Amino acid sequence: MAMLPDADYLLKFVSDITYLRYHRGITHSILLLPLWAWLCYSLLPRRRRLDPSMPWMIAAALAVHILLDLVTSFGTMVFAPVSEIRATLDLVFIIDPIFTSMLLAPLLCMIVMRRQARLLGVIGLAAMTSYLALSLFNHERAIRLTQQAHPDAASAYALPQPFSPFRW
């Protein structure tokens, strides 16, 4: 269910340009989050819909997906269809194998070590949070150094490079 926002990948079958223009668009909108959560909930088997917390868990999973896409350098149209502005925090490269491994490694380990699932989940979240905090610190530092080097510039940006939270 949490992957529903990436259904916009189907736009690739229209054309690459259409895909790039609308990827992370309306399917990643926080304004339409309740609609996507309701859609996912309505597709569940009847027995799963009996749990009153299920709509909230689905909405939370979708919100986490949108938030994790927001930290990348590609940007996400979080206010679509009202606005096509791509919001981004520019903290990780669009495809960051280090960050992705922090998500996948605990999940894969949980298959083998089910009893430690909670501990592995906490370790994974702590690793991801630390990585994002390190990226945020280095991102701000890169912007500050750029502003010092070019004090007359109107604005300064720092884009993450692949494979490292230290290269901007």
Q: How would you classify residue 96: left for phi > 0, otherwise alpha for psi between -120 and 50, otherwise beta?
A: beta
Task: Annotate 118-153 with DSSP letters as a single string.
Answer: HHHHHHHHHHHHHHHHHHHHHHHHHHHHHHHH-TT-
pTM: 0.84
Q: Which residue has the higher pLDDT, 20 or 114?
A: 20
What is the C-alpha R_g of the chain? 19
pLDDT tens by residue, 50-94? 888 999 999 999 999 999 999 999 999 999 999 999 999 999 999
Cβ–Cβ under 8 Å, residues 39 and 88: no
Do 152 and 108 share a structural domain?
A: yes
Do 99 and 64 share a structural domain?
A: no
Do 112 and 60 share a structural domain?
A: no
On whether residue 13 sits in a domain, the answer given is yes
| Residues spanned by the domain of 60 | 4-70
On whether residue 134 sits in a domain, the answer given is yes
